[in-house]
Chains A and B, each alone.
Chain A
Amino acid sequence: SAVISQKPSRDICQRGTSLTIQCQVDSQVTMMFWYRQQPGQSLTLIATANQGSEATYESGFVIDKFPISRPNLTFSTLTVSNMSPEDSSIYLCSVGGAGANVLTFGAGSRLTVL
């Protein structure tokens, strides 16, 4: 299965600022998925990023808040914009291809917003 590197692994951010999370995959993949895990909650899909097209956002998530880039088949970024303490979460990048419906996840980026 693919190997995924995410940066940063963790960060502490000030309210109102924005942070960009990077996701690098060791192989070419068609779709990349961004998930969020708020404290004590399930992993929730934010959006699906396809190379060469706009990301597809799930209900409750908007492009202005979570802009995504997908410049090529091995890389994607997720920006968390105008952060508030409610954005304190683990953000995870994932890709498919390891088997039927099986996703491989990166280690996640733990953001704390003060």
Chain B
Amino acid sequence: DQQVKQNSPSLSVQEGRISILNCDYTNSMFDYFLWYKKYPAEGPTFLISISSIKDKNEDGRFTVFLNKSAKHLSLHIVPSQPGDSAVYFCAASVLGSEKLVFGKGTKLTVNP
């Protein structure tokens, strides 16, 4: 039973355009959500997070949106750059617990 789902295994966008990566979750107990980026042969690195008391969090080119009623979050990257090409993992947890539940990831390719 997958509690965190990323239904798009891959996404391809043009440089300068917006990338939108989606994530759904099923466990209502989750109240903290994170996005990680992973390059080949490297470990995942933290990108941005959002608490369930917010519906939006922005950090430079990266914005995460949370829709609690739909149990859905999305990561927007604007503008997309070739260096953003990586696998992006959505993760969820209960605030205060360091146990993260991950989705399967979405491979983003940004074409020059």
Interface residues of A (CB under 8 A from B): 1, 4, 9, 31, 33, 40-45, 48, 92, 94, 96, 98-108
Once the chains are docked, how many angstroms separate the CA of A108 from the CA of B43?
Answer: 6
B77 CB to closest chain A CB, in angstroms?
19
Is the CB–CB distance between A33 and B41 below 8 Å? no
Is the CB–CB distance between B98 and A107 below 8 Å? no
Find chain A residues with CB under 8 A from B43 CB.
Answer: 4, 92, 94, 104-108
Near A by CB (< 8 A), chain B positions 64-101 give 89, 91, 93, 95-101
Contact of B44 among A44, A96, A101, A105 (CB under 8 A): A105
Q: What is the interface residue range for chain B against chain A? A: 20 to 34
Find chain A residues with CB under 8 A from B100 CB.
Answer: 43, 45, 101, 103
In the assembled complex, 24 residue pairs joining A and B whose CB atoms fall closer than 8 Å, in A order, are A4-B43, A9-B41, A31-B98, A40-B104, A42-B101, A43-B44, A43-B91, A92-B43, A92-B44, A94-B43, A99-B46, A99-B49, A100-B49, A100-B51, A101-B32, A101-B49, A101-B97, A101-B100, A102-B46, A104-B43, A104-B46, A105-B36, A105-B45, A107-B41
| With contact pairs A42-B104, A43-B44, A108-B43 given, residues A101 and B95 touching in the complex (Cβ less than 8 Å) | yes
Once the chains are docked, how many angstroms separate the CA of A48 from the CA of B41?
Answer: 23
A60 CB to closest chain B CB, in angstroms?
12
- Residue on A nearest B98 in the bound complex, by CB: A96
- Residue on A nearest B2 in the bound complex, by CB: A42
Find chain B residues with CB under 8 A from A103 CB.
Answer: 46, 98, 100
Is the CB–CB distance between B104 and A48 below 8 Å? no
Find chain A residues with CB under 8 A from B36 CB.
Answer: 105
Contact of A43 among B89, B95, B97 (CB under 8 A): B89
